[in-house]
A = this chain, B = another copy of it.
Amino acid sequence: MFESAELGHKIDKETYKKEVPALRAALQDAQWDLKENGKIPVIVLVSGQDGAGKGETINVLYEWMDPRYISTLAFSAPTDEERQRPFMWRYWRALPPKGRVGIFAGSWYSSPIHDRIDGGMTKAAMDARIDQINRFEAMLVNEGALVLKFWFHLTKDGQKRRLKALEKDPKTAWRVTQWNWDRLKTYDKLQDVVGHVLRMTNTPWAPWIIIEGEDDRYRSLTTGKILLEAIRQKLADADRQTTPVAPPARPNIDGRDVLSELKQPKNLMLKDDYETQLAKWQGKLSELVRDPRFKNRSLVCAFEGSDAAGKGGAIRRIIAAMDARDYQIVPVAAPTEEERAQPYLWRFWRNIPRTGRVSIFDRTWYGRVLVERVEGFCADADWLRAFAEINDFEHDLSDSGVIIVKFWLQISKEEQLKRFKEREKIEFKRFKITEEDWRNREKWDEYHQAVCDMVDHTSTGNAPWTLVEANDKNFARVKILHTICQRLEAALDAQPGAEGVAAADKSSKKKG
């Protein structure tokens, strides 16, 4: 059922010697084209049974290709910086930039397969993870990546033969330990789990490539040829407009007009009332982030709103309740060159806080379905699939204990005009109104629709949108602080005590 080479499973020395030079030259040429093209990251997963030649294959690829444009990422026990962040963070940070080849020795598959065999993961949990993986890989492919998943296979007898041969040679005997022989005993169990995982993740956009591992020459040559063919094919396809792979399905754009339903408060909040409430919720927030139960969690606050809606002012009131060493503010403007060489969610992943910390995003990943949609900065297909991708992203976060609070600050068109005019009178440079601000204003109705669609498609159980009536700044600030406190408190109360979470956390994260 899986894609596999049509060749026999052995290759003789003569054929090998004859074929390698041309393959090698072709691979390096393909790498050159990849670099010149500059739009495709190549992600190569090298996985398979012990002794099936994973390490050897990687070394051969380095020998054949230009090693300067390959990187190999090995995932063993996660570092503490990785353990303190969501499960997928270590893989996101290791993604190769466009034009390069990244070889993953160990990947997002290692941990579920391992945990399932150990019995630490239920079948249901594994199937949920498999679903996540399929969607993650679809996102990578939709973002332009070539994802090649190699599984190097060895029969039980083949594995025995290999271990014995290694033991016999004094130069390689050190590589065989009791652990290897013990692993052999679990061969059948491994086959069961692997079979299930491979079947379930053998998607059209990232199919598995099974390669018999016993014969070195067959394994190397086959891997090299498949890699070459895949890169060539991808480069040829890159010139044509491609439609995104499924999932995600195309959502119905029928967002309910939640914004017009939102009623701004009739009267301004009284100053005394504001000050009392502000102090109350700031005090509460200050306690919550110091709560020992927060040590195992982290908080992401996402702020969206039209120009002059008061995002900055609200953020100031939040941070006043915290220690500067515990939070970071991430202003989202144009992506840097390194960020443009990655999937659009990469620059948000890199700013995900470690446990016990807070990240506040001033504008967010929702730029994809707001400004990029309205201004036509990306194709329709791109922002249409973003709804599901963003839900997946937030699911990855909340699944790992991150508390997500999202705000849309809504002001009326009249209120914005009033604020623009006020700002024009102020001499401070930071309040300068640019032509772009006026231009954005002309697209008010289009943004209105985009926001409604966004709220409709991305309000999920763990990451609901909070719409904020922001014509009255003070009212908005109090509502935002109040909401953060409520969400934070509910999340901390819902967790089974700090120790319980720490333990659960550890077991799900210990394997790469």
Q: A319 near B79 (CB under 8 angstroms)? A: no
Q: A25 near B79 (CB under 8 angstroms)? A: no
Q: Does A362 contact B (CB under 8 A)?
A: yes
Q: Does A292 contact B (CB under 8 A)?
A: no
Q: Does A337 contact B (CB under 8 A)?
A: yes
Q: Which residues of A in the span 40-73 have a Cβ within 8 Å of any Cβ on B?
A: 55, 58-59, 62-63, 66-72
Q: Does A271 contact B (CB under 8 A)?
A: no
In the complex, which of the residues B55, B81, B430 contacts A325, with contact meaning CB atoms closer than 8 Å?
B55
A212 to chain B, nearest CB (A): 21
Interface segment out of the listed A27-35, A147-155, A387-395, A466-474: A27-35
Q: Does A289 contact B (CB under 8 A)?
A: no
Q: B62 near A319 (CB under 8 angstroms)? A: yes
Q: 0/1 per residue, A297-315, Cβ < 8 Å to B? A: 0000000000000001001
Nearest chain B residue, comparing its CB with the CB of A33? B429
In the complex, which of the residues B28, B315, B329, B338 contacts A428, with contact meaning CB atoms closer than 8 Å?
B28
Q: A429 near B32 (CB under 8 angstroms)? A: yes
Q: Does A324 contact B (CB under 8 A)?
A: yes
Q: What is the CA–CA distance of A63 and B323 in the complex, to the nearest angstrom? A: 12
In the complex, which of the residues B62, B315, B323 contacts A67, with contact meaning CB atoms closer than 8 Å?
B315
Q: A58 near B324 (CB under 8 angstroms)? A: yes
A245 to chain B, nearest CB (A): 30
Q: B429 near A29 (CB under 8 angstroms)? A: yes
Q: What is the CA–CA distance of A70 and B29 in the complex, to the nearest angstrom? A: 45
In the complex, which of the residues B80, B325, B362, B430 contacts A32, with contact meaning CB atoms closer than 8 Å?
B430
Q: Which residues of A in the span 99-145 have a Cβ within 8 Å of any Cβ on B?
A: 103, 105
Q: What is the CA–CA distance of A31 and B105 in the complex, to the nearest angstrom? A: 45
Chain B residue numbers with a CB within 8 Å of A429 are: 28-29, 32-33
Chain B residue numbers with a CB within 8 Å of A508 are: none
Q: Does A251 contact B (CB under 8 A)?
A: no
Q: A319 near B67 (CB under 8 angstroms)? A: yes
Main secondary structure of the interface of A (DSSP, over half): helix
Q: Which residues of A in the span 358-398 have a Cβ within 8 Å of any Cβ on B?
A: 362
Chain B residue numbers with a CB within 8 Å of A324 are: 55, 58-59, 62, 72, 103, 105
Q: Does A242 contact B (CB under 8 A)?
A: no
Chain B residue numbers with a CB within 8 Å of A316 are: 62-63, 67
Q: What is the CA–CA distance of A81 and B78 in the complex, to the nearest angstrom? A: 10
Interface residues on A, range: 35 or more
Chain B residue numbers with a CB within 8 Å of A25 are: 428
A154 to chain B, nearest CB (A): 19
Assuming A33-B429, A324-B103, is B67 touching A329 (CB within 8 A)? yes
Chain B residue numbers with a CB within 8 Å of A33 are: 429
Chain B residue numbers with a CB within 8 Å of A428 are: 25, 28-29
Nearest chain B residue, comparing its CB with the CB of A432? B32
Chain B residue numbers with a CB within 8 Å of A430 are: 28-29, 31-32, 66
Chain B residue numbers with a CB within 8 Å of A105 are: 324-325
Chain B residue numbers with a CB within 8 Å of A66 are: 312, 430
Q: B63 near A362 (CB under 8 angstroms)? A: no
In the complex, which of the residues B74, B79, B331 contacts A80, with contact meaning CB atoms closer than 8 Å?
B79
Q: Does A336 contact B (CB under 8 A)?
A: yes
Q: Does A320 contact B (CB under 8 A)?
A: yes
Q: What is the CA–CA distance of A461 and B226 in the complex, to the nearest angstrom? A: 48
Chain B residue numbers with a CB within 8 Å of A337 are: 336-338
A84 to chain B, nearest CB (A): 9
A275 to chain B, nearest CB (A): 16
Q: What is the CA–CA distance of A319 and B71 in the complex, to the nearest angstrom? A: 13
Chain B residue numbers with a CB within 8 Å of A329 are: 67-68, 70
Q: What is the CA–CA distance of A323 and B74 in the complex, to the nearest angstrom? A: 11
Q: Does A277 contact B (CB under 8 A)?
A: no
Q: Which residue numbers of A lie inside 8 Å of B, CB to CB?
A: 25, 28-29, 31-33, 55, 58-59, 62-63, 66-72, 74, 79-81, 103, 105, 312, 315-316, 319-320, 323-325, 328-329, 331, 336-338, 362, 428-430
Shortest Cβ-Cβ A-B pairs, 3 listed: A74-B325, A68-B331, A337-B337
Of the A-B pairs whose beta carbons lie under 8 Å apart in the complex, a sample of 25, sorted by A's number, is A28-B430, A29-B428, A29-B429, A29-B430, A55-B323, A59-B320, A59-B324, A62-B324, A63-B316, A63-B320, A66-B312, A67-B316, A67-B329, A68-B331, A68-B362, A69-B331, A72-B324, A79-B79, A79-B81, A80-B81, A81-B81, A105-B325, A336-B336, A336-B338, A337-B337
